[in-house]
Amino acid sequence: MEQVKRVEIIANSVELGKILDGLEKAGVPGYSVIRDVAGKSTRGNKSRDLAMTMLDNVYILAFCSPDKISAVAENIRPILNKFGGSCFISDAVELLITRCVG
C-alpha cells in the first residue's frame, strides 16, 4: 500500500481544459472526469439547466503523490478563484496490485 493524495474538483465544464492542464503541469499522472454533475453545497446550488449546457458542471477525481499537492494547489487555485468551483484534497491509500501474466 502507498500513501497518496485524493484531489476532487467540482467546476464549470467550460474550465475543464484549464483545470486538466493545471493538473498536468503539477505532475498528476491521471484523472477521471464525470460530466453533468448536479448538487447543492454551502456555496449554493450546482444544478443542471437543460437550456444552458455551457454551464454544466464537471467532477474531476485525481490521485497523486503527497509531494505534488503544493503544485496542484498552485495551479488550480487561480482557476477556481477566477471562475468558481470547489477543490477538496484528502489522504488516501493506494492498494498496489501485482498483475499475473500467464
Residue-range domains of the chain with CATH: 2-94 (3.30.70.120)
| Whether pTM exceeds 0.75 | yes
Cell (9 digits) for 44: 449554493
pLDDT of res. 28? 97
Buried b (16+ CB within 10 A) or exposed e, 54-64: eebbbbbebbb
| Listed residue (70, 68, 65, 87) closest to 19, CA to CA | 87
pLDDT in tens, 52-86: 455 689 999 999 999 999 999 999 999 999 988 99
Q: Which residues contact 76 (CB under 8 A, 6 or more apart)?
A: 9, 19, 22, 23, 26, 87
pLDDT greater than 60 at residue 41: yes
